[in-house]
Amino acid sequence: MEKLLCGVDLGGTKLSVGLVYPDGRILDKIIVYDHILKDEVAIVNYITELVRRVISANNLSESDLEGIGLGFPGHVRYKDGFAITTSNLKGFKNFPLRDSLSSNFSVPVRLDNDANAQAFCEFKFGAGRGYDDLIFLTISTGIGAGIVLNRKIYRGMTGTAGEFGHTIVDPNSDFVCTCGNRGCLMGCACGLTLPARFRKKIEKGLKTTLPVGNNFDFSQVDGKMIKQGLDRDDPVSKAIVTECADYIGIGIYNIFQVFNPPVIILGGGLMNLGEFYFNRIKSKFYELARDMIFDSIEIVKSEAEADAGLIGAAALLLE
């Protein structure tokens, strides 16, 4: 029997551990949400317990595994297997995550940034199949990205390459990113900016057709609400989506100029905003790239679903 891959997707709200076939199908998985208040050591022990649980639930043993791939929601020092920092979990400041987990198992453990893992998942099993190079961007609460070049993840010197979310697209922007800089792509266009964008439009006197009362708590504004607005032709929602899409269009235009990739794959929760959003991103990109495109470039939606993080983490073992 071909060996199974074990994937661990360690997120800021969800921790999933699963067994994945080498073709990307999931055999079994366990999802928990009660890891977030634990410290680093307790999380490593929890992951260990969950891996052992999913192995024994399927009457397997560790020797049936090719290894364990772990996707981490923050910066990773790849060669050393360190978690450098994350804004999604407590602690994990220069923590030897790979070796801590690996000391509990006899099979190899691979650790990488979760967006890198998802990019590789698209390359192996998703919208990037058949390409040697691709750029993947995930647009949700934040913006993450991964670069696959010559069929391998490009990580740079430390392992933090591909942080397109922190490239600056508008230095005069009112929006300050979580990193502290003004006008990062993430600071301008991720889900976190939606409440402030909505409030500004209302304060300027724009009328929304969404049910928003006098004491409306703008922090409730999220992608789902803006999508409802789009569906009912709400001018405020349309204006916000147009602004955000234009920034993503600028971002992928910059990516195009740097990498000249054959395909750019867009994923993440905000892609649920639908065709209005996606089309606006593409039209901004083509407006900027104009006659500088010499071979056609594909800008496509991610094929990955809810388990992309898990499958991607497992796929790290196939690199």
* Binding residues for Zn ion (CB under 5 A): 166, 177, 179, 181, 184
- Nearest-approach distance from CB 170 to Zn ion, in angstroms: 12
The span from the CA of 242 to the CA of 279, in Å, is 10
Among candidate residues 5, 9, 48, the one with its CA nearest the CA of residue 25: 5
- Nearest-approach distance from CB 167 to Zn ion, in angstroms: 8
CB within 8 Å of 98: residues ≥ 6 apart: 70, 80, 81, 82, 109, 110, 111
Nearer to Zn ion, 127 or 169 (CB): 169
Nearer to Zn ion, 22 or 195 (CB): 195
Nearer to Zn ion, 77 or 166 (CB): 166
Beta bridge mates, 136 = 146, 265
- Nearest-approach distance from CB 221 to Zn ion, in angstroms: 21
The span from the CA of 10 to the CA of 13, in Å, is 8
- Nearest-approach distance from CB 168 to Zn ion, in angstroms: 8
Tokens, residue 152? 């391998």
Q: What is the DSSP string of 67-95?
A: EEEEEESSEEETTTTEEEE-SSSS--SSB
Among candidate residues 274, 295, 297, the one with its CA nearest the CA of residue 285: 297
Nearer to Zn ion, 181 or 228 (CB): 181
Residue type, 235: P
- Nearest-approach distance from CB 180 to Zn ion, in angstroms: 7
Nearer to Zn ion, 184 or 300 (CB): 184
Tokens 């929760």 appear where?
A: 269
Kindly compute the dihedral angle of the four CA atoms of residues 240, 271, 297, 287, in this order, to the nearest 10 degrees.
-10
Nearer to Zn ion, 181 or 254 (CB): 181
Nearer to Zn ion, 177 or 264 (CB): 177
Nearer to Zn ion, 67 or 74 (CB): 74
- Nearest-approach distance from CB 179 to Zn ion, in angstroms: 3
SS3 content of the chain, % helix, strand, coil (to 5): 40, 20, 35
- Nearest-approach distance from CB 177 to Zn ion, in angstroms: 3
CA separation, residue 275 to residues 245, 268, 300 (Å): 11, 14, 12
- Nearest-approach distance from CB 164 to Zn ion, in angstroms: 10
Q: What is the DSSP string of 91-151?
A: --SSB-HHHHHHTT-SS-EEEEEHHHHHHHHHHHHSTTTT-S-EEEEEESSSEEEEEEETT
